[in-house]
Amino acid sequence: MAIGGASGPTRGLGPGRVLVVDDEMHLRLFIKAVFESAGYETATARDGEEGLEKARAFKPDLVSLDLMMPNQGGVRFLTGLRADPELCATKVLVVSAIEGATFNHSLALLSAGPGPAPAPPDGYVEKPPTAQRLLSEAQRILAQGAA
């Protein structure tokens, strides 16, 4: 990724590009502002469908994803992202109201479901998120990718 050519994500001088996918407006604004303030380039999407469109155009390094959107929006987004050869390497940070243990359980269920299971997200922050948690988790995930 670090040696991305013309087709790779266009890197500015900042730490990276973050796409925020959340159905709740306030959360979107909040998370966007957190990454913006830390120097990231940001884009937002209101649901999984719009998220995939934006991801194709914006080519983010990291997606901040609300997994529990209506109509399984989060899960569909994750599946769609992992199935797209251009996007499958994008890191995913899940921001969700469900607790860690429940979240892991739901991931297990997801992989037990029909069809190919999407690769699990790279990180997880429980709601309500704090700016500090979001940024440290994002840094950790992106550092992994660069390693």
Partner 1 sequence: MSEPLSLLLVDDEDGLRRVLSLSLADRGWRVRAAASGEEALALFRAEPAPVVVTDIKMPGMDGLALLRAVKELDPDCEVVLITGHGDIDLAIQGIKLDAADFVTKPIRDETLDIALSRARERRGMRRAIREHTEHLERLVESKTRELLAAERLAAVGQTVAGLSHSIKNMASGLEGSLFLLRQGLDGDRKAYLEQGFEMLETNVRRLKDLSLDMLRFAKPEDIRRVPADPAEPARQVTALLAARARDQGVELALELPGAPGTGWTLPLDVEALHRSLLNLVGNALDACRAAGYGPPPEGRSGGRVTLAVAPSPEGGVVYTVADNGSGMPESVRQKLFTPFYSTKGEGGSGLGLLTTRQVVAAHGGSIDVATQEHAGSVFTVIIPAQYENKLL
How many positions of this chain bind partner 1 (CB under 8 A)?
Answer: 17
Half-sphere exposure of 65 (CA within 13 A, CB side): 34
Phi then psi dihedrals of residue 64, to 5 deg = -90, 115
- Answer for which of 10, 14, 29, 144 binds partner 1 (CB under 8 A) is 29
Residue 37 binds to partner 1 (criterion: CB under 8 A): yes
Segment interacting with partner 1 (CB under 8 A) among 6-14, 25-33, 50-58, 135-143: 25-33
Q: How far apart are CA 43 and CA 58, in angstroms?
A: 8
Residue 33 binds to partner 1 (criterion: CB under 8 A): yes
Segment interacting with partner 1 (CB under 8 A) among 40-48, 71-79, 129-137, 138-146: 129-137
Residues with Cβ < 8 Å from 88, sequence gap 6 or more?
A: 81, 82, 119
End-to-end CA distance of the chain: 10
Residue 34 binds to partner 1 (criterion: CB under 8 A): yes
Phi then psi dihedrals of residue 115, to 5 deg = 80, 170
Residue 24 binds to partner 1 (criterion: CB under 8 A): yes
Cα–Cα nearest to 38, from 18, 8, 22 = 18
**CB closer to partner 1 out of 30 and 145:** 30
Binding mask 90-119 for partner 1 (x = CB under 8 A): -------x----------------------
Centroid of chain to Cα 133? 14
Residue 86 binds to partner 1 (criterion: CB under 8 A): no
Residues contributing to the site for partner 1 (CB under 8 A): 23-24, 26-27, 29-31, 33-34, 37, 70, 97, 127-131
